[in-house]
Structure 1
Amino acid sequence: MILTDKIGRTVNYLRLSVTDRCNLRCMYCVTKDFKFIPHPEILRYEEMLRLVDLAASMNISKLRLTGGEPFARRGFMGFISSVMSSHPELDLRITTNGTLIEPLVPELKKIGVSRLNISLDTLDRKTFAEVTGRDHLNDVLAAISACLSAGIRIKINAVAMKGINDKELGSFIDFAREHPIDIRFIEFMPMGDDTKSDSRFWSADDILEQGRQLTNLIPVKRTAENRGPARMYTIENGKGRLGLISPVSSHFCSTCNRLRITSDGKLRTCLFSDRTYRLRNILRNPKLGDDTLRRVIAAATRDKPLGYHLLEQRSGSEGVCVTQMSAIGG
């Protein structure tokens, strides 16, 4: 079965959140009134593996495991190993804040993890503590170094925030010049109830203009390997690259190929939409089998919206959806 929606987009990418728990409290991810999802409502690993099996049978070729912080959930390494053993054909990626993984790097390498995305919004220790609520920058930098030494490819995702990290573009470019990594700035998205998105918004075009004042940035031609939402640029005399992701100023909805499943088993077809399809009850109902899950997933995909329409409908600086990022899985 191939998943397609009513405007002809084919879905082949699933983001699966394994937990909403996190050891950081990033300002754009966790709102002031957040509450963790009760543990009995979180999917068991066996249920997640069942969903991965289904996804693979429905033409999903890329799987990203997210959180919260996925490595904060007990047993996560075993889950990774199970997924890779069951589905070696899947392009498996993991998104992490990097604070917990340095001692796990040898095991990650051994079980076959070849790529990690690490969320890192600043290279300044004081700013890191202000953004995340924790003083763990050195842990993240040590994890990046360990991964590179082990041959694990790294992408750094930085949320672009005016007044927070807009003075650090030069430092990030220097970091990418010195290390073989992709540093990708993602426009601040108006998620949740108290985002203050307008005052923090730093557009991809402004980042590019500022970056070109610092160094020669050469556009990377899009290929089958480089077909994601990021516009990539090589850095003159650099080992790494700079990327820009513009979900707000220059949307890529027409080519969106992804679905999201939250840690409590809710299917979301668009990051900007609060509409969900509850899979957990189906998974836990012995009278309902995989055929029911397939029908629900296929029907949800057919109605996958265009996120920029939802952005256009929001008023003022309110969030485009009510759900906070930590509960969605990014």
Structure 2
Amino acid sequence: MLQDNHGRTVNYARISITDHCNFRCLYCHPQKNWTFMPHEHILRYEEILRLMRILVGMGVGKVRLTGGEPFARRDFVPFLGRVRAQFPELDLRLTTNASLVGPYVPTLKDMGIECLNISLDTWRRERFEEITGRDGLPEVLVAIELCEKHGLAYKLNAVALRGMNEDEVGDFISFATEHGVDVRFIEFMPIGDGTVWGKDRYWPASEILAEARKHADLTPDQGRDRRAGPARMFRIGSGPGRVGVISAVSCHFCSTCNRLRITADGRLRTCLFSDREYRLRSALRSPRLGDEAIERIIVQANKHKPLGFRLLEKREAREGVCRTGMSSIGG
């Protein structure tokens, strides 16, 4: 079991498959001078499987595969099949923008993928293009319809952006109610140089909830789902849908953080708000180092896992708290 110096048990790993994405979301990608990781630096599928085997052996029971956009990487779906075959008991989740998912929905359902986290910040086509840099809303909506048709569970994650999509809170709540799904609003986080982070775009969770309560009767969900992560969830009236907020900035959840992140090029990050990294790729590729060496790196890194809110407190009002963009870290 992995435990850090603050007494937190780490049992959840987020692994970025690629930093490539077919979208250019303004809160995720630097808006200028963006370059992708060199192809040879990206972890091979065999290296990711080895790393997952090590992590599971150390007590990690939940893995989320993310990007970039994971479905933008070649042979990702066959790789998922290998993951499921090797780790049948693992709680395996995916985060995606869903624009490339449609053709694979039946396969994902058949291989036992439990739930997709779909990133969707707006229902309006022109606004979608403004936020993502691509006219991709129709493909996302088709994927959602296919998930419902084939019984593949999904959740919607929306980054709440002041001045951009606050007028759509009611639309998201209506969708959650009509479709019986979870919708989580995420505070805009000061991650990465060159994004559009600024106080003018930041919308705190308290104000998001105040807006949500204008559209529905919200009741805190006392039956907390162990898989809900940091979201505070609320029942919408007496219906099946739920709405939640992830308040990483205004009301941090550092004291219960149970995760670590591995970038697509094999760098271990123990805190989203810290640029401190531990290199795994060279150890994974060394013929002289076995699994024990990888374990030692992970244990050492976890001992230095910080309390991220202290990093937030130190930042200047308009500066990102870490320089690396979310697309490189793994959203």
- TM-score tier by shorter-chain length is over 0.9
Question: Is the contact made by 2:204 and 2:247 (CA closer than 8 Å) also made in structure 1?
Answer: yes
1:94 aligned residue: 94
1:246 aligned residue: 247
Report the identity percentage. Answer: 56
**SS in structure 1 opposite 2:200?**
helix
2:42 aligned residue: 42
Aligned ranges 1:207-222 → 2 under 5 Å = 207-222=208-223
Task: Report the CA distance shift for 1:227/1:185 in structure 2 as closer, same or farther (over 3 A).
Answer: closer
Question: Is the contact made by 1:189 and 1:197 (CA closer than 8 Å) also made in structure 2?
Answer: no
Taking the aligned partners of 1:316 and 1:145, their CA distance within structure 2 comes to 41
Find out whether 1:5 has 2:18 as its counterpart: no
Taking the aligned partners of 1:125 and 1:238, their CA distance within structure 2 comes to 28
**SS in structure 2 opposite 1:197?**
coil
Q: Structure 1 residue runs of 4+, over 6 Å off?
A: none
Task: Report the CA distance shift for 1:285/1:325 in structure 2 as closer, same or farther (over 3 A).
Answer: same
2:106 aligned residue: 106
User: How much does 1:224 deviate?
Assistant: 5.2
Taking the aligned partners of 1:205 and 1:222, their CA distance within structure 2 comes to 21
1:164 aligned residue: 164
User: How much does 1:227 deviate?
Assistant: 5.1
User: How much does 1:222 deviate?
Assistant: 4.4
Segment of structure 1 superposing worse, 248-257 or 191-200: 191-200
CA deviation map 1:74-123 (0-9, x unaligned): 01001111111101111000000000111111111111112100000001
Task: Report the CA distance shift for 1:226/1:108 in structure 2 as closer, same or farther (over 3 A).
Answer: closer
Taking the aligned partners of 2:123 and 2:213, their CA distance within structure 1 comes to 20
Aligned ranges 1:1-330 → 2 under 5 Å = 2-31=1-30, 32-194=32-194, 195-223=196-224, 225=226, 228-330=229-331
**RMSD (Å), alpha carbons:** 1.0
User: How much does 1:196 deviate?
Assistant: 2.8
**SS in structure 2 opposite 1:55?**
helix
Question: Is the contact made by 2:188 and 2:197 (CA closer than 8 Å) also made in structure 1?
Answer: no
User: How much does 1:246 deviate?
Assistant: 0.1
User: How much does 1:225 deviate?
Assistant: 2.9
Taking the aligned partners of 1:180 and 1:145, their CA distance within structure 2 comes to 13
Question: Is the contact made by 2:158 and 2:183 (CA closer than 8 Å) also made in structure 1?
Answer: yes
User: How much does 1:180 deviate?
Assistant: 1.8
Taking the aligned partners of 1:220 and 1:33, their CA distance within structure 2 comes to 44
CA deviation map 1:202-252 (0-9, x unaligned): 111101111111110111014353552001011125331101000000000
Taking the aligned partners of 1:107 and 1:231, their CA distance within structure 2 comes to 31
Question: Is the contact made by 2:219 and 2:235 (CA closer than 8 Å) also made in structure 1?
Answer: yes
Segment of structure 1 superposing worse, 289-298 or 220-229: 220-229
Stretches of structure 2 that go unaligned for 5 or more consecutive residues are: none
CA deviation map 1:249-288 (0-9, x unaligned): 0000000000000000000000000000000000111001
Question: Is the contact made by 2:14 and 2:66 (CA closer than 8 Å) also made in structure 1?
Answer: yes
CA deviation map 1:155-201 (0-9, x unaligned): 11100100111111111111111112111000000011233321101
Alignment coverage as a number of residue pairs: 329
**SS in structure 2 opposite 1:7?**
coil
Counterpart AA for 1:57: G
Segment of structure 1 superposing worse, 193-202 or 72-81: 193-202
Counterpart AA for 2:326: M
**SS in structure 1 opposite 2:324?**
coil
CA deviation map 1:283-319 (0-9, x unaligned): 1110011000000001101110011001111113100
CA deviation map 1:100-152 (0-9, x unaligned): 11111111111111210000000111100000011111111110111112111
TM-score by length of 2: 0.97
TM-score by length of 1: 0.98
Question: Is the contact made by 1:177 and 1:237 (CA closer than 8 Å) also made in structure 2?
Answer: no
Counterpart AA for 1:23: N
Stretches of structure 1 that go unaligned for 5 or more consecutive residues are: none
Taking the aligned partners of 1:53 and 1:43, their CA distance within structure 2 comes to 15
Counterpart AA for 1:72: A
Question: Is the contact made by 1:159 and 1:188 (CA closer than 8 Å) also made in structure 2?
Answer: yes
